[in-house]
Amino acid sequence: MHNYFVYILECSDKSYYTGVTNDLEVRLLQHENGDDPLSYKYFRRPLTLRYWQRFDYIEHAIEFEKQVKGWSRKKKEALFNEDWNEIKRLSNLKKK
C-alpha cells in the first residue's frame, strides 16, 4: 500500500495552495523552510495546513488535486469543514 496526499495550505496572505506529495510531513517542512525561493509560497509564509486526504494511488491523488485547484474559495472552505451538502450546493450553482 502506498501513501499519497493531497493537501491545502493557507498562506499568510490568506490565499490557498493545493499540492500533492508522497510524504506529507517532509513536504510541509520543505514549504515552511522555504526550500524554493521561486515558489508561490516562499513570501507567503508562515503556512497553515488546512486540509489533507490520503490516497492509495498517485493517479487518484493527482485527479483530486486538479479538481480541487479548480474550486472556488468557498468550496475549499466547505471541504475544510467536510460540509458535503455545501460542496454539492456550490457545484450546482456553477453549473447554472
pLDDT at 57: 97
| Any domain includes 11 | yes
| Any domain includes 52 | yes
Q: Which domain holds residue 10?
A: 4-70
Task: Evaluate if residue 94 carries a pLDDT over 70.
Answer: no
Q: How many domains does the chain have?
A: 1
The Cα–Cα gap between 91 and 55 comes to: 23
pLDDT digits 0-9 by tens, 15-62:
999 999 999 999 999 999 998 888 888 899 999 999 999 999 999 999
Q: What is the CATH number of the domain that holds 56?
A: 3.40.1440.10
